[in-house]
Amino acid sequence: MTLTHQSLEQLRFTNLGRLLDEVHLGFDHAALAYLRARGYPWINASHVHVMRTMQLDGAGISAMAAQARISKQAMSKLVMQFRARGLLRVDDDAQDGRNKVVVVTDAGRDLLAHGVAALRQAEDDLAALIGQGELEALRRILRLVRGKNRTLEPPADVARRRRR
């Protein structure tokens, strides 16, 4: 195979990874814009790691970090930002005093409710763009690929460096 400038440039902008990345970022930006419009102007893309891993009945920072595939230090820093805004509490773990449990406050529940509404609005926007049937087909295909990829977990060092 001969590599040309034109074929390389075309591949850079049409490969599946790039397309998925751009759609993902566009979706997240739309959802964040809706969330900001609902009274959370400070929220940014890094805060999504906390919102995606907050548990109504509490969760450990280590578990949240592992689920988000970021370091415990990064998750702790983000959790402290939410704590400073009254959205989360950090309590001692009743079963292991060395650990902390992140608990959602009433204000945090409101944020999560607005976050769900923002995600639904972003999905509605996508459905308006491509049609509800195509959106459901996309969801089905992505679930299928996700299920098959679960056996292909990235190495720990790669998982920790996951970019947003």
Beta carbons within 10 angstroms of residue 109's beta carbon: 13
Burial (CB count within 10 angstroms: exposed 0-12, middle 13-18, buried 19+), residue 14: exposed
Annotated domain spans of the chain: 18-160
CATH 2.40.240.10 fits 18-160, yes or no: no
Per-residue pLDDT of the chain (164 residues; tens, 9 = 90+): 688 988 888 888 889 999 999 999 999 999 999 999 999 999 999 999 999 999 998 999 999 999 999 999 999 999 999 999 999 999 988 888 788 899 999 999 999 999 999 999 999 999 999 999 999 999 999 999 988 877 655 555 544 444 44
Q: What is the pTM of this model?
A: 0.80
89 close to 83: Cβ distance less than 8 angstroms:
yes
Residue 11 CA to residue 15 CA, distance in Å, equals 5
Task: Retrieve residue 56's tokens.
Answer: 């109504």
Residue 25 CA to residue 87 CA, distance in Å, equals 25
Beta carbons within 10 angstroms of residue 75's beta carbon: 23
Residue 74 CA to residue 52 CA, distance in Å, equals 15
